A and B are shown apart, each in its own frame.
Chain A
Amino acid sequence: MAEPSNIPHIEVSDLTIGYGDYVVQRDLSFVVNKGDIFVIMGGNGCGKTTLMRALIGLQRPLQGSVRYSGEDFWGASDEDRQRMKRRLGVLFQSGALWSSLTLADNVALPIAQYTDLTQTRIDEIVSFKLALVGLAGFEDFYPSELSGGMKKRASLARAMALDPDILVIDEPSSGLDPITAKRLDELIVELRDSLGTTVMVVTHELASILSIGNNSVYLDAETHTMIPTGNPQDALKSGDPKVRHFLTRGAA
């Protein structure tokens, strides 16, 4: 499996997103290949999260299309869209763990919802997923009993509960210490390498962008459209001046 491929997995074309008359971003077109770690970057308020909401089915775009493995997402019926969503794992910015459920139940819910597995199997899967994010033994904890970083990791465990084809992550490392953030980055890369998961990361965290991304777009808050930036490492060296300014924290 491993490594990015040339098979398009997510195709975004001419997408315009916004609220009512207010356009946040327009003319977004990019392709995410299977096995990519695709970074959507940009400053505060540029529309990163709005784009993510359009990609995962929470907010209908004003225009344009999103295709998963060639299948139109927003043009599909509610049922088909529901089926496509099942292959997505989403990690929300603030974790969005269900506060009335224990960690184990948080991770188990998607599995119980969509498979016929026995409780014993589900428990095993849950324990393994929690162990993967470094939370072995925290099954019976409630989210309110955890630190911010632990919540983030727990919600990653929930996002990958069903081994999704596509993992969508909003700000993976915000609120995490550098070591934990690095471990999370490593885990994301490992999921891609081992399981062939396509990963879309929405972030402005430079360390993550540069170390894990192999393709990217930059959403510009001023022009309200995107700049295709390719591999972030290349963009840092020879990209658009605006992007280099961003990636070097204003130094270039």
Chain B
Amino acid sequence: MPNNAQWQFEIQPDGDDGLNIILGGRWCIDASLPTSGVVLEALGDKIRRLRFDVAGLSDWDSGLLTFLDGVLKACAQRNIAADTSGLPPGAQRLLAMALAVPEQKVAGHDQGPQSLLAQVGTSALAFLHDAPQMLRFLGQITQSMLRLFTGRARFRYRDLWLEIEEVGPRALPIVSVISFLVGLILAYLGADQLRLVGAQVFIADLVAIGMVREVGALMTGIIIAGRTGAAFAAQLGTMQVNEEIDAYKTLGIQPIDFLVLPRILALMLMVPLLTLYSGFIGILAGLLISVTIFHIGVFEYYTETLRALEFKHFLVGLSKGTVYGAMIAFAGCLRGMQCGRSAEAVGRAATSAVVTAILLITIAASIMTIVYYQLDI
């Protein structure tokens, strides 16, 4: 499409202090037109007047206008009188429209890439800003819980059941698959080590205690963070974009009570149950591997598992599941409520929800493991 042969352009001196710009041919956007820089070079110091001659101009569009816009702006800066009366009337009017609203110089609008130091500083400040927000959100949730227990929160139990269905039963397939594979990995890992001391039957202990105490909760937590935490952030974020959350606020309904609380309760109830389920599936996988690959008797494995599993292990697993569930819901809802008003912000909220949830889960897991060890639970 580009056709360079069709436009003509010439700069002629016009008296001592003037220039005459001759434009001809076809000045359309798809051609490689000259830039206004060419005229700016010719302006020099002496030129005070500029006029245009467009007698030879056959066709024009924004290509011409863009060029002229650049020239006229430069003239305005240098106090050069530009006589636009020679231009086509339509071009004059459009140029006037473009110049009608002066360019906005908006203070504080960051432009361009930052230096490394600035980036580090910005991130640090963002963290300092984020930490109190997290605490405030935690406080709001606590208040909301108190309102719920004193019966003052506007809370729809139907929402809670819907959330429970969404985060619990519907997560069973993926939790099953992952737990089974993790149980299998644990069994192989144990078999390899225990063979050295000829105690392969203790695979059952390893798998049972490992799955019920630690791995079941951790795996479930990570699955639910990716599955549900991200969904919470995206749902609440989209509601933020659509001003739905503002609509609740104007009705005097606390979004925390109405939207966040059911989600947090649903996860706090469902993640421990999923953790138990995950442990059960993991033990099944261990049994399957031990019996088929390592030739341990089914009954032998069964009694060994029963012997190994004490009630406290279930308590540890359940408590971890509950805490992870709370962390996931907290991170998802926090990022959703903080979401900006654009499609991209919703994406960032969902990403950040998963990252925050996994970070919180890992920190909580470490702390709880150490505490339980010290308490000898």
Which A residues have a C-beta under 8 Å from some C-beta of B? 1-2, 99-100, 111, 115-118, 120-121, 124-125, 127-129, 131-132, 134-138, 140-144, 160, 162-163, 186-187, 190-191, 193-195
> Given A125-B62, A137-B106, do A2 and B97 touch, yes or no (CB 8 Å)?
no
Interface centre among A129, A132, A141 (most CB of B within 10 A): A132
Shortest Cβ gap from A168 to chain B (Å): 18
With a CB–CB cut-off of 8 A, which chain B residues contact A118? 32
> Given A144-B341, A163-B62, A195-B61, do A132 and B103 touch, yes or no (CB 8 Å)?
no
Contact A132 B345 (CB under 8 A): no
Which of A115, A121, A137, A144 makes the CB contact (< 8 A) with B103? A137
- Give the residues from 42 to 76 in chain B that come closer than 8 angstroms, CB to CB, to chain A: 61-63, 65-67, 69-70
Contact B66 A128 (CB under 8 A): yes
With a CB–CB cut-off of 8 A, which chain B residues contact A137? 103-106
Shortest Cβ gap from A136 to chain B (Å): 4
Which of B2, B36, B61, B340 makes the CB contact (< 8 A) with A163? B61
Shortest Cβ gap from A86 to chain B (Å): 11
Shortest Cβ gap from B5 to chain A (Å): 16
6 A-B pairs with the lowest CB-CB distances in the bound complex, closest first: A194-B90, A99-B342, A137-B104, A134-B101, A144-B342, A137-B103
Which of B36, B100, B111, B341 makes the CB contact (< 8 A) with A134? B100
CA distance A119 to B124 in the complex (A): 35
A-B pairs with beta carbons under 8 Å apart, 27 shown: A99-B344, A115-B30, A120-B35, A121-B32, A121-B66, A124-B66, A124-B69, A125-B29, A131-B98, A131-B99, A132-B94, A132-B98, A135-B101, A136-B101, A137-B103, A143-B342, A144-B340, A144-B341, A163-B62, A163-B63, A187-B97, A190-B94, A190-B97, A193-B93, A194-B90, A194-B93, A195-B90
Contact B94 A117 (CB under 8 A): no
B132-174 interface code vs A (CB 8 A; 1 in, 0 out): 0000000000000000000000000000000000000000000
Contact A131 B69 (CB under 8 A): yes
With a CB–CB cut-off of 8 A, which chain B residues contact A195? 61-62, 90
Check B109 for interface membership: any CB of A closer than 8 A: yes
Shortest Cβ gap from B57 to chain A (Å): 12
> Given A190-B93, A194-B93, A194-B94, do A131 and B35 touch, yes or no (CB 8 Å)?
no
Which B residues have a C-beta under 8 Å from some C-beta of A? 1-2, 28-30, 32-33, 35-36, 61-63, 65-67, 69-70, 88-91, 93-94, 97-106, 109, 111, 340-345
Contact B97 A140 (CB under 8 A): no
CA distance A129 to B32 in the complex (A): 18
Shortest Cβ gap from B65 to chain A (Å): 6
With a CB–CB cut-off of 8 A, which chain A residues contact B88? 194
CA distance A230 to B65 in the complex (A): 33
Contact A128 B98 (CB under 8 A): yes
Contact A2 B29 (CB under 8 A): no
The residue of chain B having its C-beta at the shortest distance from the C-beta of A139 within the complex is B111
CA distance A116 to B1 in the complex (A): 9
CA distance A194 to B97 in the complex (A): 12
Contact A116 B94 (CB under 8 A): no
Contact A124 B97 (CB under 8 A): no
The residue of chain A having its C-beta at the shortest distance from the C-beta of B341 within the complex is A144
> Given A115-B29, A125-B29, A129-B62, do A194 and B345 touch, yes or no (CB 8 Å)?
no
With a CB–CB cut-off of 8 A, which chain B residues contact A162? 29
With a CB–CB cut-off of 8 A, which chain A residues contact B28? 163
Contact A100 B344 (CB under 8 A): yes
With a CB–CB cut-off of 8 A, which chain B residues contact A142? 342
Shortest Cβ gap from B83 to chain A (Å): 19
Contact A136 B343 (CB under 8 A): no
With a CB–CB cut-off of 8 A, which chain B residues contact A138? 104, 106
Shortest Cβ gap from A1 to chain B (Å): 7
With a CB–CB cut-off of 8 A, which chain B residues contact A143? 342
CA distance A162 to B29 in the complex (A): 7
Other A-B pairs, 6, CB within 8 Å; known A134-B101, A191-B94? A100-B343, A116-B2, A124-B67, A140-B109, A160-B62, A194-B94
With a CB–CB cut-off of 8 A, which chain B residues contact A134? 100-101
Contact B62 A128 (CB under 8 A): yes
CA distance A144 to B345 in the complex (A): 9
CA distance A186 to B93 in the complex (A): 11
CA distance A116 to B99 in the complex (A): 27
CA distance A29 to B1 in the complex (A): 34
> Given A100-B344, A144-B341, do A132 and B97 touch, yes or no (CB 8 Å)?
yes
With a CB–CB cut-off of 8 A, which chain B residues contact A116? 2, 32
The residue of chain A having its C-beta at the shortest distance from the C-beta of B100 within the complex is A134
Interface centre among A1, A124, A187 (most CB of B within 10 A): A124
With a CB–CB cut-off of 8 A, which chain B residues contact A160? 62
Contact A140 B36 (CB under 8 A): no
CA distance A100 to B340 in the complex (A): 12
CA distance A144 to B97 in the complex (A): 25
Shortest Cβ gap from A3 to chain B (Å): 11
Shortest Cβ gap from B221 to chain A (Å): 31
Shortest Cβ gap from B15 to chain A (Å): 29
CA distance A124 to B1 in the complex (A): 20
CA distance A135 to B2 in the complex (A): 29
CA distance A241 to B238 in the complex (A): 44
The residue of chain A having its C-beta at the shortest distance from the C-beta of B34 within the complex is A121
Contact A124 B70 (CB under 8 A): yes
The residue of chain B having its C-beta at the shortest distance from the C-beta of A138 within the complex is B104
With a CB–CB cut-off of 8 A, which chain A residues contact B30? 115
CA distance A195 to B29 in the complex (A): 12
With a CB–CB cut-off of 8 A, which chain A residues contact B98? 128, 131-132, 136
CA distance A121 to B65 in the complex (A): 12
